[in-house]
Structure 1
Amino acid sequence: MAASLQGKLALITGASGGIGKATAIALAKLGCSIAVHYSSARDTAEALVTELIQLPGGIRAQAFQADMGDYDQVRALYASVVDALGHPDILFNNAGMSGPKVGPQGDIETVSLEDFELTWKVNTGSSFLLTQLCVPHMVAQKYGRVVFCSSVAAGTGGVVGPHYASSKSAMHGLVHWLAARYAKDGVTCNAVAPALIEDTKMMGDTADAVRKLIPIGRLGRSHEVASVVEMLVTNAYLTNKIIVVDGGLTPSAF
């Protein structure tokens, strides 16, 4: 029997492209209404909304703008979603930034404190804040799904730099605390940790040498990550997990 999210509402940050867009489409096909967050790509977000509301099932969808590096805008984003569509039942903390690319052989002193703090604020701080805002309603209704978009860099150090890797690994501590705390309230919390997904801004100019690192011989695709998020959202018994989606790059979970 196919899973159904009929009547549920998902808030997806960074939904205007790549993994966020693919996830919005996947969940909408299960009957889930979507709050589409974007930072600057308004036309792309509005086009996605048009695509979503044309799907069968009569779902609702609306675009909401916010700079995830500004906590006041994040609070306003949440308030706007609640006012327009209601309280989110599902939160996919997907928005993020890489910051300056230092590389695995770079020097830590090339990362400014300002870049470090901004990367953490966008990737981790705003995700924490949105979760903090969404969880009370989830607990009250005894149903909620929180998913973070981490990265394989959280467990390996990655190819960007210490600012990015540490901002992603911090998510894992959030997952473990939240999952343990709210499991009995019907709220699950997990993370998906992709590596080298081709149709995203971060991997837009990937060298062949990087591609050859992947055992299956190609980069991942956004819909392949979205299918894991769909699993995490529709499985009530799956919580406190970090699911790695990396084409076999790492031999086990971290």
Structure 2
Amino acid sequence: MSNPEEILRGKLVLITGCTGGIGQSTARAFAKHGCSVAIHYNSSSSKDKASQLIAELTKNPGVRAVAFQADLSHYDAARVLHAQVVKELGPPDILFSNHGVTGPRIGPEGDIAAVSPEVFEDIWRTNAGTHFLLAQLCIPYMQQQKWGRVIFTSSVAAGTGGVIGPQYASSKAALHGLMHWLSLRYCKEGITANVVSPALIEDTAMMSNPPESVRSKIPIGRLGKPAEIAGIVILLASNGYMTNKNIVADGGWTIGGF
């Protein structure tokens, strides 16, 4: 059986939200396995992080890395991002669609009236709509070469309701239905589709300083580490028999998948 490095070496992965904790850790893991990386970041404040990540990744032999800025709350920005990646590095073999926003943090006891339909739709466009569009743009090349990987970052909130709000939980749950359809449609063409659903990962903007009431929900007694999520993503990218799956990494919070 081939090892992950043999399978992944020379592939190009597009990672959205790449300057966050999970994105950076996953980029490092892919680069160590010989993948080139298209680094997406959202705001200009993350430009320096992207530059530092390029310098780090390209120390790996044969690895190329280029950074691309895009506000993925807009469909046109997703189209431009994909076009720029193809122009600079080529079409992606692997899409790790990892970007997302929370919207209002009203908590599990909040009032639904605090989230307007307009805000709800904005969060869905970012957390589900542009993920769909990037998959739509990347899959034709994957079909041509009879090999591809589509991996979405969801959240344990998709199965539990979470601690943020209905707009976040429902937008993440939408990725699961999208993944199921993509997998069933394209798996016979060598394209797998999967979801990873983390809970409460340290070194991320979402969980920069969680209260004890949040920490106490994790049976294992600690927050997850970005590298632990990166390991799951590498597994999903390197295993051609694993598709149509939601891998929940939540320290024991939930029982089974969803």
**Interval containing the TM-score (normalised by the shorter chain):** over 0.9
- Structure 1 CA distance, aligned partners of 2:119 and 2:102? 10
**Equivalent position to 2:226, from 217, 222, 225:** 222
Q: By how many angstroms is 1:132 displaced? A: 0.2
Aligned to 1:150: 154
Equivalent in the alignment of 1:51: 56
Structure 2, unpaired ranges of 5+: none
Counterpart Cα distance in 1 of 2:112 and 2:146: 44
TM-score, normalised with respect to structure 1: 0.98
Tell me, in whole angstroms, the C-alpha distance in 2 between the residues paired with 1:74 and 1:172.
20
Q: Which residue of 2 aligns with 1:160?
A: 164
> In structure 2, which of residues 1, 23, 27 is the aligned counterpart of residue 20 of structure 1?
23
Q: Secondary structure at the match of 1:128?
A: helix
Which of 115, 122, 129 is 1:118 aligned to?
Answer: 122
Give the residue type in structure 1 aligned to 2:55: T
Aligned to 1:38: 41
1:2 equivalent in structure 2:
3
3-state SS of the aligned residue for 1:201? Answer: coil
Report deviation, 1:106. 0.7
Q: Distance in 2 between matches of 1:127 and 1:79?
A: 15
Q: Which runs of 4+ in 1 moved over 6 A?
A: none
Q: C-alpha root-mean-square deviation of aligned residues, in Å?
A: 0.8
User: Structure 1: 5+ residue runs without aligned partners?
Assistant: none
Match of 1:236 in 2: 240
The count of residues paired between Structure 1 and Structure 2 equals 253
> Which of residues 103, 118, 125 in structure 1 aligns to 2:107?
103
Specify the SS of the correspondent of 2:137. helix
Residues of 2 paired with 1:247 and 1:237: CA distance? Answer: 25
The match for 1:93 is: 97
Task: Give the structure-2-normalised TM-score.
Answer: 0.97
For 2:145, which of 127, 141, 163 is the aligned residue? 141
Q: Which residue of 2 aligns with 1:64?
A: 68
Q: Do residues 82 (structure 1) and 86 (structure 2) align?
A: yes
Alpha-carbon separation, structure 2, partners of 1:62 and 1:10: 11
Partner of residue 128 from structure 1, selected from 121, 126, 132? 132
How far does residue 2 in structure 1 lie from its aligned partner after superposition?
3.3
Q: Structure 2: how far apart are the matches of 1:189 and 1:117?
A: 25
Q: Which amino acid aligns with 1:34?
A: V
> 1:37 aligns to what SS in structure 2?
strand
Q: 1:112, CA displacement in angstroms?
A: 1.2
Deviations 1:99-141 (A, max 9, x none): 1101101111110122111110111001000000000100110
Q: Which amino acid aligns with 1:48?
A: L
Please report how far the alpha carbon of residue 209 of structure 1 lies from its aligned counterpart in structure 2 after TM superposition. 2.2
Q: CA deviation at 1:246?
A: 0.2
The aligned amino acid for 1:105 is E
